[in-house]
Structure 1
Amino acid sequence: MPKDNRILIAIGAAVAVLAAVAIGLIFSGGKKSAEPPPAAQGGLTVDVADAPELNTTRELRCYVDGQFVGMATLVDCARRNGLATDALDVGVDETGALVAAPTASFAPPPSAPGDLAEAEAPAATEAPDVAAPEPTTAAAAQCLRHTGSDWRSLSSSMSLNACVQALYAGTCVTPGDALYGRWGNTTLRLVPRRVEQSQDNNRFRTLVEQDRSCQFPDLR
């Protein structure tokens, strides 16, 4: 084949490749991605587990007996509720507004389970009269969740730590609200940033703190 023909063939092939690339760019450039932008995919996330720092003169939404009574400072809101300031739960609601309310004021403790606990409790066995040991987190007992109208059993034999995780891991509540559970004869209560426990369903004390991700790192 003459040398000139080979040169012409090479030039023609190069031109064809360039034309194909140009056509591909033209057609691909006019198409838009079907996926929504990252901002649209993320959605809105409201973190109610961590309240901003407060000063004594800053006003926030105050609740008394579950009713909004207007804007008030933390000290004034506590006075209206007849409580010390550390007895108020402070956080942000779904709108991002600061809220103060007595602990669990929107969800008072339910009555202790009756027939359900008795029906699902293991049968008692005869035992010698010895002093009962203090309950520990490693002991096993029935774990119950209060659904708002009744009690539902999660397990008939579970440790205290496992019961807290099963009831509340990944769940946060807003100020003034609470979620209840039972571990044996102990009432459990999730309030903002902590789980509390009570032996008499009346006086509660902190059992474990909850982090901003609604988890319990101290129970791991």
Structure 2
Amino acid sequence: MASPNDNRIIIAIGAGLVIIAAIVLALVFSGGGDQTPEAPPASRGGLTVDLAEAPSLEPTRELRCFVDGQFVGMATLADCAQRNGLATDALDVGLDATGALAAAPTAAFAPPPELPSVEIDEMEPAPIEENPIRPSNPQPQAQPASAGQQCLRHTGSDWRQISSGMSLNACVQALYSGMCVRPGDAQYGRWGGSTLRLVPGRVEQSGDNVRFRTLAEQDRNCQFPSL
């Protein structure tokens, strides 16, 4: 039969094992099951994205529609694309000069300005010499500048004359050589009775200030190699 001392030793060892087991179990549960998942980086940084708050263009929403550079009224994106003869995704959507949401083919947000009401030459006539001295043996005269066409630039508020007589190619070069515009922008000029319009990648020409056709392509250096 075991002595009382042996029983006390066995009880002490058993108690120690129970305590060790309890400590191990406590460490396991506290380090695993009760751990809270780490918050995502976006939440820690205070950034939240709610797709419901993202701006969107509803199919039924009407916006300002431009066709051939002219404002034609309010229309849905699909209707505006149909009026332009284009697919819906071929239209640019952005803010026009009034700050309103608008849709149009690339670089057609800026409509053509009103044509000059008075010819620039009539407003600023060249001075005429009184009693000009004529040589006794006149030489053949060079072709006068008026044989060309008047070249005008629209500055945003009025028309400014570049030349009273210039060829079409020379007028385009004088107006737009080295100049590029961003999508949605356009720069206008006049050559004789035609309106010139610089848009991204090309310069266009119109005889009625409404329908434009490509006149020359523009390269990456904002030049016109074909001219």
TM, length-normalised to structure 1: 0.49
TM, length-normalised to structure 2: 0.48
The structure with the largest alpha-carbon Rg is: 2
